Structure 1
Amino acid sequence: MIENSMYDQASGLRRMTQLTSTKVITVTGGKGGVGKTNVTLNMAIAMARQGKRVMVLDADLGLANVDVMLGLRAVRNLSHVLAGVCDLKDIIVEGPYGVKIVPASSGTQTMAELTPAQHTGLIRAFSTLEDDIDVLLIDTAAGISDMVLSFSRAAQDVLVVVCDEPTSITDAYALIKILSREYDVQRFKIVANMVRSYREGRDLFAKLTRVSERFLRANLELVACIPLDDRVRQAVKRQKVVVEAFPRSPAALAFTSLSNKALSWPVPACPGGHVEFFVEKLLIRSSRQEVPLSES
């Protein structure tokens, strides 16, 4: 029923005259340990502190940790939604500054090995949500699994987090290559994380762009250089994010700057060929007028 409903809704997008400003941003990176979750949560809370309505989807379905990093207790998670135990709205927990968290399960192999049909069903489950959201941030798993690719394709903007390690650069390139060549995702925003200086961040970005420009048509943009800052580790030990625990620290200021920049990124006037599930739902819900099909 969810799939048929979403197909019907998507077909009606052409007739909608009013658009929402919801942003859908996927944070990914290819390699584990590059700080994707930290980037996601710091952006979320920095945005929420500005009064934005923010939701974070923990899309690391096998090794979830978003709720743990914030010291939250999730009674149910996405595994219960897929099992038909409850709806998506029933598992949402509230974090600092009203950030809504959609928790995933941890240590569950079956959640890490979903079929493509289950991926699609999970994405389309968002059509059941009634919350008005300004920004949806999706924190993906490491690697280039079907789920990572699905959520990267679903977003309006893909943030690729890299650090100055050969494996991080190699894995980030592999992710960009697959999304670019096989799924026609051509725009990527790069976050150089845990760098010792802005110059190191620029050099890291240059390493990635050299190989991308040679073999791909993808457009890469460096949007942030997050400094290596011990306050980040201290905040994690407190189960807080650095923008909340140490708002004047170098890393917190860089995350805040990234969040401000992300809020200025334009939202496409209509779905750009990807799933963009959440935007489709909000377009349909926020639009109340239709024009004849001959005018679309």
Structure 2
Amino acid sequence: MSVNRPVKVIAVTGGKGGVGKTNLSVNLSIALAELSRRVILLDADLGLANVDVLLGLHAKHTLADVLDGSMSLRDVMLNGPGGVKVVPASSGVQQMTHLTPQEHAALIYAFNELSDQLDILMIDTAAGISETVVSFVRAAQEVIIVVCDEPSSITDAYALIKLLNSEHGVFRFRVIANMTRTNQEGINLFNKLNGVCDRFLDASLQYLGHVPFDENVRKAVQKRQPLIEFAPRSKASAAVRVIAQKIDQWPVQASPRGHLEFFLERLVTANAGAC
């Protein structure tokens, strides 16, 4: 089955753990679903799955079952909050860079069969700059970099951008400043990252906005609920919705970059080259 309609493929990454990347992936997905978009959230942390845990979902089957051919993607997808569909990963699955051609084919077929019910594929990558992370990010159309006010966050984000830009030809990055104390802090964080990238790289960084520090985030995690449902009127939820509206206004790219097939073909190509 071929994909005849364009799909937005967005990778959320950060280079460093602890910046709130998964939380943002989850809540942005729900906020986009609130805008009547059909969203699938792919947990691409194949070594340490956490999206389903964060949402209090119980995954009987995972992407591993799709890759070995025993289940279809429809079978393993979970119904998440706000109508978002969640594709759970699982701990202990072999890294994407080691997938066999048969597993590549299974993954392509699995997503192709969902193309008629999908507007946005949101990919929550693992932390770090492993080959798996790079493969998912370079295959996506849009890359969101999450940073927070820690020196190591800026350093690691720059390292990831440098790798993707210098070695894999990724030129455009969107940046979210997370857990900020003020609006100006978010702007300053972006300016720090953008300044060093401007100086040393041929990359374009665009500031998506900031999400303020909010004690409700911790409470929502403890309750295994998405922030946007746990505290819908909180400042952080409002900020997430503003960013989601910006994402929703991004144009859907035309063929071939706008097709889900292109994402999967690039993913396969990236991993084949890494083997």
Question: TM-score of the superposition, structure 1-length normalised?
Answer: 0.82
Residue 171 (str. 1) matches residue 177 (str. 2): no
Say if 1:161 and 1:259 are closer, same or farther in 2 by CA, change over 3 A: same
Alignment of 1:1-296 (within 5 A): 20-106=5-91, 108=92, 110-112=93-95, 114-115=97-98, 117=100, 120-121=104-105, 124-125=108-109, 126-272=111-257, 278=260, 280=262
Structure 1, residues 77-109: CA drift from partner, whole Å, max 9, x if none?
012222232222221111112110000002x1x
Say if 1:85 and 1:271 are closer, same or farther in 2 by CA, change over 3 A: same
After alignment, is 42-51 or 194-203 more displaced? 42-51
1:155, distance to aligned residue in structure 2 (A): 1.2
1:281, distance to aligned residue in structure 2 (A): 8.8
> Aligned equivalents of 2:100 and 2:152: distance in 1?
31
1:214, distance to aligned residue in structure 2 (A): 0.9
Secondary structure of 1:194's counterpart equals strand
1:139, distance to aligned residue in structure 2 (A): 0.2
Secondary structure of 1:111's counterpart equals coil
Q: Which amino acid aligns with 1:111?
A: Q
Unaligned runs of 5+ in 1: 14-18, 283-296
Pairwise CA RMSD: 2.2
Counterpart of 1:288 in structure 2 is none
The structure 1 segments of at least 4 consecutive aligned residues displaced by more than 6 Å after TM superposition are none
1:127, distance to aligned residue in structure 2 (A): 2.5
Secondary structure of 2:94's counterpart equals helix
8 Å CA contact 2:8–2:253 kept in 1: the answer is no
Unaligned runs of 5+ in 2: 265-275
Question: TM-score of the superposition, structure 2-length normalised?
Answer: 0.88
Secondary structure of 2:128's counterpart equals coil
1:22, distance to aligned residue in structure 2 (A): 2.2
Secondary structure of 1:231's counterpart equals helix
Q: Which amino acid aligns with 2:60?
A: V
8 Å CA contact 1:116–1:146 kept in 2: the answer is no
- Look at both structures and tell me which one has the larger radius of gyration over its CA atoms: 1
Secondary structure of 1:101's counterpart equals strand
Percent identity over the alignment is 50
